[in-house]
A and B are shown apart, each in its own frame.
Chain A
Amino acid sequence: MLDTLINYLVNYPFVRYALIVGLLVSLCSSLLGVTLVLKRFSFIGDGLSHVAFGAMTISTVLPVIVKDILISFSQEGKLSASGDALVKHLTEMNDMVIVLPITLLSAILLLRTGQNTKIKGDAAVAMISVSALAVGYMLINVFSMSANVSGDVCSTLFGSLSILTLKKSDVWICLALSVVVITLFLLLYHKIFAVTFDENFSSATGINANAYNLIIAVITALIIVIAMNLVGSLLISALIIFPALSAMRVFQSFKGVIICSAVISVICAGTGIILSILFSTPVGATIVTADIVVFMIFCIISRFTRRQKA
């Protein structure tokens, strides 16, 4: 078994890349977990992941729709050469090109509705996320050319069956976005802390809390897009929230919690990816299961440390 793993790692450079990307993704997703949990923004994360699912289906069926439209408008009833090229281009285009902007836009919209209107923020999110799910599922059923629709849906919802099926362009996009997320987070760390801890005080001392809320929403959207390939849209919330919740059980300072949740997340992702390769289990579900196990362990630890203190 170990041989299989070493064989993969040594002989297939792509496995190595996939592993690195998995670790980076998990690192990113853990950074904002604390903020999202404490600001009660975790529902936005959840809503966004469904929007990302809808966007993904749009990107999947777009070439089919474009083809249908072009055919119905042409006289001969078949595609011209340029139309054919366009459809081909759309098919080969990376899904991110469509998913990223849609998710970013929704993040901004969700934050706005949560703050300004009289509709309760979480009701708005619930509305948007179920709409995205329903429309997405319908689109992919009506238009998909694929023979295996339920397989497609399943992998969008729960992540690729195996990390080895990641496309090379996915790897590079993940890498670039991860760097953006980590840099932004490090630069804005103290301000994110202040805005999370006490928004009124921050605004009173001249920090533009709304701007930082927006940045937090944008980073969340980026993280969701990055993590989507790894664990699928339904499981992203788990990747974001579990490490933070575990760390908050044991650590007493913001910095301690952030560092601990980053470590937990990376270890769980590494373990999950390796186990999923060895036992050919679905990679996203394996990682999340590892996160759950760690959460339970930290719950038990916190029982003991709290008791000692009392």
Chain B
Amino acid sequence: MVIDGETIVPKVPDTQVVCRNAVLGYEDGIVTRDLNFAVNSGDYLCILGENGSGKSTLVKTLLGLQKQLDGEIEWFKGMSSKDIGYLPQQTVVQRDFPASVREIVRSGCLGKMGLRPFYNAQEKQLAEDTMKQLGIDHLAKHCYRDLSGGQQQRVLLARALCATRKMLLLDEPVTGLDPKAQTDLYELIASLNKEGITIIMVSHDMAVVRYATHILHIGSQRQLFFGTKDDYLNSSIGKNFIASERGEFNA
């Protein structure tokens, strides 16, 4: 299943999305090319890569916020880019935005509401249940800006879960959290994955690798690896990456 340029990614019955020979970038240039990978439902795909390798660009493309320059991204089983629950890398929320946790979590439902102006009882209940599941129900009335970093990420995760239960796409969700909060968030996401929610996690942190089932490693300008975690750990790319991360860690 390892990909090199021309190889076609196999499609199994519960495939949710396949990316073939995708070229990503912006008007002013290509960021990365020849991306080939598939995500099946229940997978935990970890996207690794250096700063600037194009991870967030891939995320934006999967979300449909921008188009790939070439190649194709195909969705299956009634999925579309709108069925992704999304946790942004850095939420550019202004520091003093007045919004309660409940208001933010509920806003996850808006995408499904079409032109209906107000939430129905079902959506309100969904928001309450999700907050309880993520352990933030006692914060419902609190102001988002007064929460700790870890709590804020939980709120945004709850919002994403209100949007969909099919697939979560997280772009370096632990940036800026202390180690304890990082581990907690990773465990929480792993438990959601056990429930059957597909996870696509962007990271340059090897701690995630142990939760993942599949790895996509993007290097400068091209894809370095796509495959299962075990294959990755045995590959030279994987060994190098882990060694370099260890080195960084020890230094």
Question: Do A and B actually bind?
Answer: yes
The interface residues of chain A, by DSSP majority, are classed as helix
- Tell me the minimal C-beta distance from B161 to chain A in angstroms: 12
Q: Which residues of B contact A205 (CB under 8 A)?
A: 82, 86, 108, 110-112, 163
Do the beta carbons of B97 and A38 come within 8 Å of each other?
yes
Q: Which residues of B contact A189 (CB under 8 A)?
A: 117
Do the beta carbons of B86 and A251 come within 8 Å of each other?
no
Of the candidates A187, A196, A200, A254, the one whose C-beta lies within 8 Å of that of B117 is: A187
When C-beta atoms are compared, the residue in chain A nearest to B162 turns out to be: A205
Of the candidates A186, A198, A203, A257, the one whose C-beta lies within 8 Å of that of B98 is: A257
Q: How far is the CA of A187 from the CA of B114 in the complex (A)?
A: 12
Tell me which of B87-95, B128-136, B194-202, B230-238 binds A.
B87-95
- Interface presence of A204 (CB below 8 A): yes
What total of chain B residues lie within 8 Å of the partner, measured CB to CB?
37
Q: Which residues of B contact A257 (CB under 8 A)?
A: 98
Do the beta carbons of B86 and A248 come within 8 Å of each other?
no
- Interface presence of B119 (CB below 8 A): yes
- Interface presence of B65 (CB below 8 A): yes
Do the beta carbons of B99 and A253 come within 8 Å of each other?
yes
- Interface presence of A190 (CB below 8 A): yes
When C-beta atoms are compared, the residue in chain A nearest to B87 turns out to be: A201
When C-beta atoms are compared, the residue in chain B nearest to A34 turns out to be: B98
When C-beta atoms are compared, the residue in chain A nearest to B163 turns out to be: A205
Q: Which residues of B contact A194 (CB under 8 A)?
A: 107, 110
Do the beta carbons of A197 and B117 come within 8 Å of each other?
no
- Tell me the minimal C-beta distance from B10 to chain A in angstroms: 28
Q: How far is the CA of A128 from the CA of B216 in the complex (A)?
A: 48
- Interface presence of A134 (CB below 8 A): no
Q: How large is the interface on A (under 10, 10 to 19, 20 to 34, 35 or more residues)?
A: 20 to 34
Do the beta carbons of A254 and B98 come within 8 Å of each other?
yes
- Interface presence of A193 (CB below 8 A): yes
Interface centre among A187, A194, A255 (most CB of B within 10 A): A194
Q: Which residues of A contact B55 (CB under 8 A)?
A: none
- Interface presence of A13 (CB below 8 A): no
Q: Which of A179-218 contact B (CB under 8 A)?
A: 186-191, 193-194, 196-198, 200-207
Do the beta carbons of A254 and B103 come within 8 Å of each other?
yes
Interface centre among A196, A205, A253 (most CB of B within 10 A): A205
Do the beta carbons of B86 and A186 come within 8 Å of each other?
no
Interface centre among B98, B106, B107 (most CB of A within 10 A): B98
What sequence of 0s and 1s flags, for each residue 115-129 of chain B, a beta carbon within 8 Å of any chain A beta carbon? 001110000000000
Do the beta carbons of A204 and B107 come within 8 Å of each other?
no
- Tell me the minimal C-beta distance from B99 to chain A in angstroms: 5
Of the candidates B84, B86, B143, B159, the one whose C-beta lies within 8 Å of that of A253 is: B143
Q: How far is the CA of A159 from the CA of B82 in the complex (A)?
A: 48
Do the beta carbons of A255 and B103 come within 8 Å of each other?
yes
Enumerate 27 A-B pairs (CB-CB under 8 Å) in ascending A order: A38-B94, A186-B117, A190-B106, A190-B107, A190-B117, A193-B99, A194-B107, A194-B110, A197-B93, A197-B99, A198-B92, A198-B93, A200-B88, A200-B92, A204-B64, A204-B65, A204-B81, A204-B82, A205-B110, A252-B142, A252-B143, A252-B146, A253-B98, A253-B99, A253-B141, A253-B143, A254-B100
- Nearest first, the 5 A-B pairs at minimum CB distance are A205-B111, A252-B143, A253-B100, A206-B82, A206-B111
Known: A198-B107, A248-B96; 16 extra A-B contacts, CB below 8 A, are: A38-B94, A187-B117, A190-B113, A190-B118, A194-B110, A200-B65, A204-B63, A205-B112, A205-B163, A248-B98, A252-B98, A252-B141, A252-B142, A253-B100, A253-B103, A256-B98
Interface residues of chain B, those whose CB is within 8 Å of chain A, are: 63-65, 81-82, 84, 86, 88, 91-94, 96-100, 103-104, 106-108, 110-113, 117-119, 141-143, 146, 156, 159-160, 163
